[in-house]
Amino acid sequence: MQTVSSWGRLRQVPHEVARPAFLDEARAVLQAGGAPALCYGKGRSYGDVCLNENGRLIVTDLLDRIISFDRERGVLRAEAGLTFERLLRVVVPHGWFLAVTPGTKFVTLGGAVANDVHGKNHEAVGTFGAHVLSLGLARSFGEVLTLSPTQNAELFAATVGGLGLTGAILWVELQLVPIRSAMMEIETLATADLDAFFRRAQESRDWPYTVAWVDCLAKGAATGRGFFARGRHAETGELTVHGNPRLSVPFDAPGALLNAHTMALFNGAILYRPWALGAKTMHYDPFFYPLDSIAHWNRLYGKRGFFQHQSVVPMAHAPDTIRKLLELTAEFREGSFLMVLKLFGDKPSPGLMSFPMAGATLALDFPNKGESTRRLLGRMAELVMTAGGRLYPAKDATMSGDAFRAGYPAWRQLEAQRDPAIMSDFWRRVTAPAAAGAA
Ligand SMILES: Cc1cc2nc3c(=O)[nH]c(=O)nc-3n(C[C@H](O)[C@H](O)[C@H](O)COP(=O)(O)OP(=O)(O)OC[C@H]3O[C@@H](n4cnc5c(N)ncnc54)[C@H](O)[C@@H]3O)c2cc1C
Protein backbone atom coordinates (compact mmCIF):
# COMPACT_ATOMS: atom_id res chain seq x y z
CA MET A 1 0.00 0.00 0.00
CA GLN A 2 1.19 3.48 -0.83
CA THR A 3 -0.23 6.72 0.59
CA VAL A 4 -1.53 9.33 -1.82
CA SER A 5 -3.20 12.67 -1.16
CA SER A 6 -5.06 15.26 -3.19
CA TRP A 7 -4.18 18.94 -3.57
CA GLY A 8 -5.75 19.96 -0.24
CA ARG A 9 -3.52 17.42 1.58
CA LEU A 10 -6.17 16.82 4.22
CA ARG A 11 -5.52 13.07 4.35
CA GLN A 12 -2.75 10.63 3.45
CA VAL A 13 -4.73 7.79 1.96
CA PRO A 14 -3.48 4.20 1.45
CA HIS A 15 -3.91 2.76 -2.05
CA GLU A 16 -2.66 -0.11 -4.14
CA VAL A 17 -1.03 2.01 -6.86
CA ALA A 18 -0.57 0.97 -10.50
CA ARG A 19 1.31 3.14 -13.04
CA PRO A 20 0.61 1.67 -16.46
CA ALA A 21 2.89 2.92 -19.24
CA PHE A 22 0.71 1.84 -22.16
CA LEU A 23 -2.98 2.16 -22.91
CA ASP A 24 -3.52 -1.60 -23.17
CA GLU A 25 -1.81 -2.00 -19.80
CA ALA A 26 -4.15 0.59 -18.23
CA ARG A 27 -7.10 -1.30 -19.59
CA ALA A 28 -5.70 -4.60 -18.28
CA VAL A 29 -5.27 -3.09 -14.80
CA LEU A 30 -8.89 -1.95 -14.79
CA GLN A 31 -10.07 -5.35 -15.98
CA ALA A 32 -7.86 -7.35 -13.59
CA GLY A 33 -10.52 -7.42 -10.86
CA GLY A 34 -9.94 -7.07 -7.14
CA ALA A 35 -10.58 -4.00 -5.02
CA PRO A 36 -12.46 -1.08 -6.64
CA ALA A 37 -10.28 1.04 -8.94
CA LEU A 38 -10.03 4.77 -9.76
CA CYS A 39 -7.92 6.83 -12.15
CA TYR A 40 -5.68 9.58 -10.78
CA GLY A 41 -4.26 12.35 -12.97
CA LYS A 42 -2.12 14.97 -11.25
CA GLY A 43 -4.20 15.05 -8.06
CA ARG A 44 -5.04 18.73 -8.57
CA SER A 45 -8.52 18.15 -7.19
CA TYR A 46 -8.65 19.48 -3.64
CA GLY A 47 -10.77 16.87 -1.90
CA ASP A 48 -11.56 13.21 -2.46
CA VAL A 49 -12.83 12.82 -6.04
CA CYS A 50 -9.40 11.41 -6.96
CA LEU A 51 -9.00 9.20 -3.87
CA ASN A 52 -10.12 5.63 -3.25
CA GLU A 53 -9.07 4.48 0.22
CA ASN A 54 -7.67 0.94 0.36
CA GLY A 55 -8.64 0.51 -3.28
CA ARG A 56 -6.65 0.49 -6.49
CA LEU A 57 -5.43 3.77 -7.98
CA ILE A 58 -4.49 3.89 -11.66
CA VAL A 59 -2.02 6.77 -11.88
CA THR A 60 -1.93 8.02 -15.47
CA ASP A 61 1.24 10.12 -15.54
CA LEU A 62 3.08 7.73 -17.89
CA LEU A 63 0.20 7.79 -20.40
CA ASP A 64 1.23 11.14 -21.83
CA ARG A 65 1.89 10.67 -25.55
CA ILE A 66 0.47 12.82 -28.30
CA ILE A 67 -1.19 10.48 -30.78
CA SER A 68 -1.88 13.00 -33.56
CA PHE A 69 -1.89 16.75 -34.10
CA ASP A 70 -3.51 18.28 -37.18
CA ARG A 71 -1.71 21.62 -37.28
CA GLU A 72 -4.00 22.99 -39.98
CA ARG A 73 -7.25 22.37 -38.11
CA GLY A 74 -5.99 22.50 -34.53
CA VAL A 75 -7.24 19.02 -33.68
CA LEU A 76 -5.11 17.10 -31.19
CA ARG A 77 -5.51 13.57 -29.92
CA ALA A 78 -3.44 12.47 -26.93
CA GLU A 79 -3.29 9.93 -24.14
CA ALA A 80 -5.32 10.94 -21.11
CA GLY A 81 -2.34 11.46 -18.79
CA LEU A 82 -0.93 14.29 -20.93
CA THR A 83 -0.84 17.51 -18.90
CA PHE A 84 -1.92 20.91 -20.19
CA GLU A 85 1.62 22.02 -19.31
CA ARG A 86 3.14 19.67 -21.91
CA LEU A 87 0.35 20.12 -24.39
CA LEU A 88 0.86 23.89 -24.50
CA ARG A 89 4.59 23.43 -25.13
CA VAL A 90 3.69 21.55 -28.30
CA VAL A 91 0.74 23.53 -29.65
CA VAL A 92 1.54 27.18 -28.81
CA PRO A 93 4.49 27.45 -31.27
CA HIS A 94 2.06 26.33 -33.99
CA GLY A 95 -0.44 29.07 -33.11
CA TRP A 96 -2.95 27.01 -31.12
CA PHE A 97 -4.22 27.22 -27.55
CA LEU A 98 -6.59 25.35 -25.24
CA ALA A 99 -10.19 26.50 -25.69
CA VAL A 100 -10.70 26.15 -21.93
CA THR A 101 -8.11 25.99 -19.19
CA PRO A 102 -8.41 25.99 -15.39
CA GLY A 103 -6.19 28.10 -13.11
CA THR A 104 -3.35 25.57 -13.18
CA LYS A 105 -1.72 23.92 -16.20
CA PHE A 106 -0.68 20.88 -14.14
CA VAL A 107 -3.85 18.93 -14.88
CA THR A 108 -4.29 15.99 -17.23
CA LEU A 109 -6.69 15.62 -20.13
CA GLY A 110 -8.46 12.78 -18.29
CA GLY A 111 -8.86 14.86 -15.12
CA ALA A 112 -10.11 17.85 -17.13
CA VAL A 113 -12.79 15.70 -18.78
CA ALA A 114 -13.80 13.97 -15.53
CA ASN A 115 -14.43 17.29 -13.76
CA ASP A 116 -15.51 19.07 -16.97
CA VAL A 117 -13.30 21.97 -15.90
CA HIS A 118 -14.05 25.61 -16.63
CA GLY A 119 -11.86 28.65 -17.21
CA LYS A 120 -12.03 32.42 -17.14
CA ASN A 121 -13.98 32.31 -20.39
CA HIS A 122 -16.97 30.20 -19.40
CA GLU A 123 -19.43 32.85 -20.53
CA ALA A 124 -17.88 32.89 -24.01
CA VAL A 125 -17.14 29.21 -24.69
CA GLY A 126 -18.61 26.98 -21.96
CA THR A 127 -16.75 24.12 -20.31
CA PHE A 128 -13.80 21.99 -21.40
CA GLY A 129 -16.11 19.17 -22.43
CA ALA A 130 -17.69 21.37 -25.09
CA HIS A 131 -14.38 21.21 -26.99
CA VAL A 132 -13.84 17.46 -26.70
CA LEU A 133 -14.50 15.93 -30.11
CA SER A 134 -14.23 12.34 -28.93
CA LEU A 135 -12.58 10.16 -26.33
CA GLY A 136 -11.64 6.53 -25.76
CA LEU A 137 -13.09 4.85 -22.68
CA ALA A 138 -12.04 1.49 -21.24
CA ARG A 139 -14.61 -0.25 -19.09
CA SER A 140 -13.91 -3.14 -16.73
CA PHE A 141 -15.93 -5.28 -19.15
CA GLY A 142 -15.98 -5.34 -22.94
CA GLU A 143 -14.15 -3.38 -25.62
CA VAL A 144 -12.70 0.13 -25.51
CA LEU A 145 -15.48 2.45 -26.63
CA THR A 146 -15.20 5.63 -28.68
CA LEU A 147 -17.49 8.28 -27.22
CA SER A 148 -18.55 11.60 -28.75
CA PRO A 149 -21.64 13.80 -28.78
CA THR A 150 -22.98 11.55 -31.56
CA GLN A 151 -21.40 8.16 -30.82
CA ASN A 152 -22.37 6.42 -27.57
CA ALA A 153 -23.78 9.83 -26.73
CA GLU A 154 -25.36 8.87 -23.42
CA LEU A 155 -22.11 7.48 -22.07
CA PHE A 156 -20.25 10.53 -23.42
CA ALA A 157 -22.59 12.82 -21.43
CA ALA A 158 -22.08 10.72 -18.31
CA THR A 159 -18.29 10.68 -18.74
CA VAL A 160 -17.85 14.45 -19.24
CA GLY A 161 -18.06 15.68 -15.65
CA GLY A 162 -18.54 12.05 -14.61
CA LEU A 163 -15.88 12.19 -11.85
CA GLY A 164 -13.93 9.29 -13.35
CA LEU A 165 -16.70 6.83 -12.52
CA THR A 166 -17.73 5.57 -15.95
CA GLY A 167 -14.41 3.94 -16.87
CA ALA A 168 -10.77 4.78 -17.57
CA ILE A 169 -10.42 7.51 -20.18
CA LEU A 170 -7.55 6.35 -22.39
CA TRP A 171 -7.32 9.17 -24.92
CA VAL A 172 -9.00 12.48 -25.69
CA GLU A 173 -9.40 14.34 -28.99
CA LEU A 174 -9.71 18.10 -28.64
CA GLN A 175 -10.51 21.10 -30.78
CA LEU A 176 -7.96 23.85 -30.03
CA VAL A 177 -8.41 27.57 -30.71
CA PRO A 178 -6.12 29.64 -32.96
CA ILE A 179 -3.88 32.36 -31.48
CA ARG A 180 -1.50 34.79 -33.18
CA SER A 181 0.62 35.46 -30.13
CA ALA A 182 1.47 33.99 -26.73
CA MET A 183 0.76 37.39 -25.22
CA MET A 184 -2.47 38.58 -23.65
CA GLU A 185 -3.95 42.07 -23.57
CA ILE A 186 -5.17 42.71 -20.04
CA GLU A 187 -7.05 45.43 -18.25
CA THR A 188 -7.24 45.40 -14.46
CA LEU A 189 -9.82 47.62 -12.78
CA ALA A 190 -10.46 48.33 -9.12
CA THR A 191 -13.87 47.37 -7.76
CA ALA A 192 -15.06 49.22 -4.65
CA ASP A 193 -17.65 46.65 -3.60
CA LEU A 194 -19.77 43.75 -4.79
CA ASP A 195 -22.12 45.91 -6.87
CA ALA A 196 -19.10 47.28 -8.70
CA PHE A 197 -18.05 43.70 -9.50
CA PHE A 198 -21.42 42.87 -11.05
CA ARG A 199 -21.39 46.14 -13.04
CA ARG A 200 -17.87 45.47 -14.33
CA ALA A 201 -18.84 41.94 -15.28
CA GLN A 202 -21.87 43.17 -17.23
CA GLU A 203 -19.90 45.79 -19.13
CA SER A 204 -17.06 43.37 -19.98
CA ARG A 205 -19.07 40.94 -22.04
CA ASP A 206 -17.00 41.55 -25.15
CA TRP A 207 -13.86 40.38 -23.30
CA PRO A 208 -13.51 36.59 -23.54
CA TYR A 209 -11.65 36.19 -20.23
CA THR A 210 -12.75 37.79 -16.96
CA VAL A 211 -12.00 37.12 -13.29
CA ALA A 212 -12.08 39.06 -10.02
CA TRP A 213 -9.88 38.70 -6.97
CA VAL A 214 -11.68 39.72 -3.81
CA ASP A 215 -10.07 41.31 -0.77
CA CYS A 216 -11.05 39.02 2.08
CA LEU A 217 -10.30 41.67 4.70
CA ALA A 218 -12.90 44.11 3.35
CA LYS A 219 -16.04 44.31 5.49
CA GLY A 220 -19.33 46.21 5.72
CA ALA A 221 -20.00 48.48 2.77
CA ALA A 222 -16.65 47.45 1.26
CA THR A 223 -17.56 43.74 1.17
CA GLY A 224 -16.55 42.38 -2.20
CA ARG A 225 -13.87 45.02 -2.78
CA GLY A 226 -11.07 43.85 -5.02
CA PHE A 227 -9.98 44.02 -8.61
CA PHE A 228 -11.47 42.84 -11.83
CA ALA A 229 -9.26 41.59 -14.66
CA ARG A 230 -10.34 41.11 -18.25
CA GLY A 231 -8.24 39.82 -21.09
CA ARG A 232 -7.98 38.61 -24.64
CA HIS A 233 -5.28 36.98 -26.77
CA ALA A 234 -3.05 39.67 -28.34
CA GLU A 235 -2.87 39.98 -32.12
CA THR A 236 0.89 40.49 -32.22
CA GLY A 237 3.88 38.99 -30.43
CA GLU A 238 5.86 35.77 -30.60
CA LEU A 239 4.49 32.30 -30.00
CA THR A 240 6.78 31.59 -27.04
CA VAL A 241 5.92 28.91 -24.50
CA HIS A 242 5.96 29.22 -20.71
CA GLY A 243 9.02 28.51 -18.52
CA ASN A 244 9.38 26.30 -15.45
CA PRO A 245 8.16 27.32 -11.97
CA ARG A 246 10.51 29.93 -10.52
CA LEU A 247 10.28 28.81 -6.91
CA SER A 248 9.36 25.72 -4.94
CA VAL A 249 8.17 25.10 -1.38
CA PRO A 250 10.46 22.18 -0.43
CA PHE A 251 8.61 21.01 2.72
CA ASP A 252 5.51 21.63 4.84
CA ALA A 253 5.37 25.07 6.35
CA PRO A 254 5.28 24.74 10.12
CA GLY A 255 1.93 25.97 11.48
CA ALA A 256 3.58 29.05 12.93
CA LEU A 257 4.80 30.18 9.52
CA LEU A 258 1.27 30.31 8.27
CA ASN A 259 -0.21 33.57 9.36
CA ALA A 260 -1.83 36.65 7.91
CA HIS A 261 1.55 38.29 7.27
CA THR A 262 3.18 35.44 5.36
CA MET A 263 0.10 34.74 3.31
CA ALA A 264 -0.36 38.44 2.54
CA LEU A 265 3.25 38.46 1.39
CA PHE A 266 2.62 35.44 -0.79
CA ASN A 267 -0.47 37.04 -2.26
CA GLY A 268 1.29 40.36 -2.84
CA ALA A 269 4.46 38.89 -4.34
CA ILE A 270 3.05 36.07 -6.40
CA LEU A 271 -0.63 36.06 -6.86
CA TYR A 272 -1.56 39.70 -7.25
CA ARG A 273 1.65 40.88 -8.91
CA PRO A 274 0.40 40.32 -12.47
CA TRP A 275 -2.73 42.32 -11.76
CA ALA A 276 -1.36 45.84 -11.26
CA LEU A 277 -4.14 48.25 -12.20
CA GLY A 278 -4.37 49.51 -15.77
CA ALA A 279 -3.88 48.12 -19.25
CA LYS A 280 -0.92 45.94 -20.11
CA THR A 281 0.33 43.08 -22.22
CA MET A 282 1.56 39.93 -20.52
CA HIS A 283 2.41 36.34 -21.38
CA TYR A 284 -0.38 33.77 -21.07
CA ASP A 285 1.43 32.02 -18.22
CA PRO A 286 1.00 34.62 -15.42
CA PHE A 287 -2.44 35.50 -16.75
CA PHE A 288 -3.89 32.01 -16.66
CA TYR A 289 -1.65 30.35 -14.10
CA PRO A 290 -0.35 32.82 -11.48
CA LEU A 291 -0.12 30.13 -8.81
CA ASP A 292 1.95 27.79 -10.98
CA SER A 293 5.00 30.00 -10.52
CA ILE A 294 5.59 28.34 -7.12
CA ALA A 295 5.78 24.57 -7.21
CA HIS A 296 4.07 22.81 -4.27
CA TRP A 297 2.49 26.02 -2.96
CA ASN A 298 -0.09 23.84 -1.20
CA ARG A 299 2.63 22.99 1.36
CA LEU A 300 2.35 26.57 2.61
CA TYR A 301 -0.74 25.43 4.49
CA GLY A 302 1.29 23.00 6.58
CA LYS A 303 0.70 19.36 7.44
CA ARG A 304 -3.00 19.73 8.23
CA GLY A 305 -3.75 20.83 4.71
CA PHE A 306 -6.52 23.14 3.57
CA PHE A 307 -10.05 23.23 2.23
CA GLN A 308 -11.53 24.99 -0.72
CA HIS A 309 -15.13 26.09 -1.07
CA GLN A 310 -16.27 26.67 -4.64
CA SER A 311 -19.92 27.18 -5.33
CA VAL A 312 -22.14 28.58 -8.04
CA VAL A 313 -25.49 30.29 -7.47
CA PRO A 314 -28.03 31.21 -10.12
CA MET A 315 -27.87 34.84 -11.21
CA ALA A 316 -31.23 35.81 -9.66
CA HIS A 317 -29.81 35.11 -6.18
CA ALA A 318 -26.14 35.80 -6.90
CA PRO A 319 -25.57 39.33 -5.48
CA ASP A 320 -27.39 38.56 -2.25
CA THR A 321 -25.91 35.11 -1.69
CA ILE A 322 -22.33 36.08 -2.56
CA ARG A 323 -22.60 38.95 -0.07
CA LYS A 324 -23.85 36.58 2.63
CA LEU A 325 -21.05 34.11 1.88
CA LEU A 326 -18.42 36.83 2.19
CA GLU A 327 -19.97 38.17 5.40
CA LEU A 328 -20.09 34.71 6.90
CA THR A 329 -16.46 34.17 6.02
CA ALA A 330 -15.50 37.45 7.69
CA GLU A 331 -17.55 36.53 10.77
CA PHE A 332 -15.86 33.14 11.20
CA ARG A 333 -12.32 34.59 10.85
CA GLU A 334 -10.99 31.35 9.39
CA GLY A 335 -8.50 33.33 7.36
CA SER A 336 -9.17 32.84 3.68
CA PHE A 337 -6.37 34.34 1.63
CA LEU A 338 -7.54 33.47 -1.79
CA MET A 339 -10.93 34.53 -3.08
CA VAL A 340 -11.88 34.36 -6.70
CA LEU A 341 -15.21 35.53 -8.08
CA LYS A 342 -16.54 35.27 -11.60
CA LEU A 343 -19.62 34.79 -13.69
CA PHE A 344 -20.64 31.68 -15.57
CA GLY A 345 -22.65 32.00 -18.75
CA ASP A 346 -25.53 29.94 -20.09
CA LYS A 347 -23.63 27.83 -22.64
CA PRO A 348 -24.89 24.30 -22.04
CA SER A 349 -22.30 21.72 -21.07
CA PRO A 350 -22.28 18.32 -22.75
CA GLY A 351 -21.86 16.75 -19.31
CA LEU A 352 -24.71 15.33 -17.30
CA MET A 353 -23.12 16.34 -14.00
CA SER A 354 -21.10 19.43 -14.94
CA PHE A 355 -20.71 21.98 -12.18
CA PRO A 356 -21.22 25.33 -13.99
CA MET A 357 -24.67 26.91 -14.35
CA ALA A 358 -25.52 30.47 -15.39
CA GLY A 359 -24.72 32.55 -12.32
CA ALA A 360 -21.82 33.64 -10.14
CA THR A 361 -19.12 31.37 -8.78
CA LEU A 362 -17.02 32.04 -5.70
CA ALA A 363 -13.89 30.12 -4.68
CA LEU A 364 -12.11 30.48 -1.34
CA ASP A 365 -9.28 28.62 0.40
CA PHE A 366 -9.29 27.96 4.15
CA PRO A 367 -6.47 26.47 6.22
CA ASN A 368 -7.69 23.36 8.00
CA LYS A 369 -8.35 24.40 11.59
CA GLY A 370 -10.54 21.39 12.25
CA GLU A 371 -14.12 21.59 13.49
CA SER A 372 -14.52 25.37 13.16
CA THR A 373 -13.51 25.30 9.50
CA ARG A 374 -15.90 22.44 8.82
CA ARG A 375 -18.69 24.33 10.55
CA LEU A 376 -18.08 27.35 8.34
CA LEU A 377 -18.05 25.19 5.21
CA GLY A 378 -21.34 23.60 6.30
CA ARG A 379 -22.96 27.00 6.81
CA MET A 380 -21.70 28.18 3.42
CA ALA A 381 -23.13 25.07 1.78
CA GLU A 382 -26.53 25.80 3.38
CA LEU A 383 -26.55 29.32 1.92
CA VAL A 384 -25.69 27.94 -1.50
CA MET A 385 -28.40 25.28 -1.32
CA THR A 386 -31.02 27.81 -0.25
CA ALA A 387 -30.16 29.88 -3.31
CA GLY A 388 -30.58 26.88 -5.63
CA GLY A 389 -26.85 26.59 -6.27
CA ARG A 390 -24.32 23.79 -5.91
CA LEU A 391 -20.77 23.01 -4.80
CA TYR A 392 -17.93 21.89 -7.07
CA PRO A 393 -16.91 18.24 -6.43
CA ALA A 394 -13.38 18.93 -7.74
CA LYS A 395 -12.81 21.29 -4.83
CA ASP A 396 -14.91 19.64 -2.16
CA ALA A 397 -14.06 17.56 0.90
CA THR A 398 -17.06 18.15 3.16
CA MET A 399 -20.29 18.40 1.14
CA SER A 400 -23.14 16.39 2.68
CA GLY A 401 -25.03 13.78 0.69
CA ASP A 402 -28.15 15.96 0.85
CA ALA A 403 -26.32 18.99 -0.54
CA PHE A 404 -24.84 16.87 -3.31
CA ARG A 405 -28.09 15.25 -4.35
CA ALA A 406 -29.96 18.57 -4.27
CA GLY A 407 -27.29 20.21 -6.43
CA TYR A 408 -26.91 17.32 -8.88
CA PRO A 409 -30.31 15.70 -9.40
CA ALA A 410 -28.89 13.74 -12.35
CA TRP A 411 -26.61 11.78 -10.02
CA ARG A 412 -28.72 8.62 -10.31
CA GLN A 413 -28.17 8.62 -14.07
CA LEU A 414 -24.43 8.72 -13.45
CA GLU A 415 -24.78 5.94 -10.89
CA ALA A 416 -26.56 3.86 -13.54
CA GLN A 417 -23.65 4.44 -15.96
CA ARG A 418 -20.92 3.94 -13.36
CA ASP A 419 -18.50 1.13 -14.10
CA PRO A 420 -19.13 -1.37 -11.26
CA ALA A 421 -15.37 -1.83 -10.82
CA ILE A 422 -14.86 1.90 -10.14
CA MET A 423 -15.41 3.82 -6.92
CA SER A 424 -14.07 6.96 -5.25
CA ASP A 425 -14.08 8.26 -1.69
CA PHE A 426 -16.17 11.20 -2.90
CA TRP A 427 -18.85 9.00 -4.44
CA ARG A 428 -18.99 6.78 -1.33
CA ARG A 429 -19.37 9.87 0.84
CA VAL A 430 -22.12 11.64 -1.09
CA THR A 431 -24.20 8.69 -2.24
CA ALA A 432 -23.95 6.20 0.64
CA PRO A 433 -26.91 7.49 2.71
CA ALA A 434 -29.14 7.62 -0.37
CA ALA A 435 -28.14 4.12 -1.44
CA ALA A 436 -28.84 2.82 2.08
CA GLY A 437 -32.15 4.69 2.11
CA ALA A 438 -33.17 3.16 -1.20
CA ALA A 439 -32.27 -0.37 -0.06
C1 LIG B 1 -4.37 26.02 -8.46
C2 LIG B 1 -5.58 25.33 -8.99
C3 LIG B 1 -6.47 26.04 -9.78
C4 LIG B 1 -7.61 25.42 -10.30
N5 LIG B 1 -8.45 26.16 -11.07
C6 LIG B 1 -9.55 25.58 -11.59
C7 LIG B 1 -10.41 26.31 -12.45
O8 LIG B 1 -10.20 27.49 -12.72
N9 LIG B 1 -11.47 25.65 -12.99
C10 LIG B 1 -11.72 24.33 -12.74
O11 LIG B 1 -12.69 23.80 -13.28
N12 LIG B 1 -10.92 23.61 -11.92
C13 LIG B 1 -9.85 24.21 -11.35
N14 LIG B 1 -9.01 23.47 -10.54
C15 LIG B 1 -9.33 22.07 -10.30
C16 LIG B 1 -8.70 21.15 -11.36
O17 LIG B 1 -8.77 21.73 -12.64
C18 LIG B 1 -9.48 19.84 -11.41
O19 LIG B 1 -9.53 19.26 -10.14
C20 LIG B 1 -8.89 18.83 -12.41
O21 LIG B 1 -9.83 17.84 -12.64
C22 LIG B 1 -7.60 18.20 -11.91
O23 LIG B 1 -7.06 17.38 -12.92
P24 LIG B 1 -6.08 16.18 -12.57
O25 LIG B 1 -5.52 15.69 -13.84
O26 LIG B 1 -5.11 16.59 -11.51
O27 LIG B 1 -7.10 15.11 -12.02
P28 LIG B 1 -7.22 14.44 -10.58
O29 LIG B 1 -7.42 15.52 -9.59
O30 LIG B 1 -6.12 13.49 -10.35
O31 LIG B 1 -8.59 13.64 -10.76
C32 LIG B 1 -9.79 14.36 -10.94
C33 LIG B 1 -10.90 13.39 -11.37
O34 LIG B 1 -10.56 12.91 -12.66
C35 LIG B 1 -10.61 11.49 -12.67
N36 LIG B 1 -9.63 11.07 -13.68
C37 LIG B 1 -8.36 11.48 -13.84
N38 LIG B 1 -7.83 10.87 -14.91
C39 LIG B 1 -8.77 10.06 -15.43
C40 LIG B 1 -8.81 9.15 -16.51
N41 LIG B 1 -7.76 8.95 -17.32
N42 LIG B 1 -9.95 8.47 -16.74
C43 LIG B 1 -11.04 8.64 -15.95
N44 LIG B 1 -11.05 9.50 -14.90
C45 LIG B 1 -9.93 10.18 -14.65
C46 LIG B 1 -10.28 11.09 -11.25
O47 LIG B 1 -10.77 9.80 -10.96
C48 LIG B 1 -11.01 12.17 -10.48
O49 LIG B 1 -12.36 11.84 -10.35
C50 LIG B 1 -7.86 24.05 -10.02
C51 LIG B 1 -6.96 23.33 -9.22
C52 LIG B 1 -5.84 23.96 -8.72
C53 LIG B 1 -4.88 23.16 -7.86
The per-residue DSSP string of 67-86 comes to: EEEETTTTEEEEETT-BHHH
Give pTM, 2 decimals.
0.96
Spatial distance between the Cα atoms of 79 and 180, rounded to a whole number of angstroms: 27
Residue % of the chain over a pLDDT of 90: 81
120 CB under 6 A from ligand 1? no
- Angle between helix 194-203 and 318-332 (nearest 10): 140
Residue 437 — very low, low, confident or very high, per pLDDT cuts 50/70/90?
very low
* pLDDT at residue 301, as a whole number: 87
Number of Cβ atoms within 10 Å of the Cβ of 260: 10
* pLDDT at residue 215, as a whole number: 82
Would the pLDDT of 256 be above 60?
no
Would the pLDDT of 1 be above 70?
yes
Q: 293: alpha, beta or left, given left = phi > 0 and alpha = psi -120 to 50?
A: alpha
Which residues are bridge partners to 209 per DSSP? 231
176: CA distance to ligand 1 center in Å? 19
5: CA distance to ligand 1 center in Å? 13
Exposed/middle/buried for 406, CB within 10 Å: 0-12, 13-18, 19+?
middle
Among 40-44, 308-312, 324-328, 413-417, whose mean pLDDT is lowest? Answer: 324-328
Mean pLDDT over residues 59-72, rounded?
98
Structural domains of the chain, ranges and CATH numbers in brackets: 2-60+411-438 (3.30.43), 66-178 (3.30.465.10), 183-400 (3.30.70.2520)
* pLDDT at residue 62, as a whole number: 98
The answer to whether residues 162 and 351 touch, using CB atoms and an 8 Å cutoff, is: yes
163 CB under 6 A from ligand 1? yes
Would the pLDDT of 269 be above 70?
no
Residue 310 CA to its chain's centroid (Å): 10
215: CA distance to ligand 1 center in Å? 26
Q: 398: alpha, beta or left, given left = phi > 0 and alpha = psi -120 to 50?
A: alpha
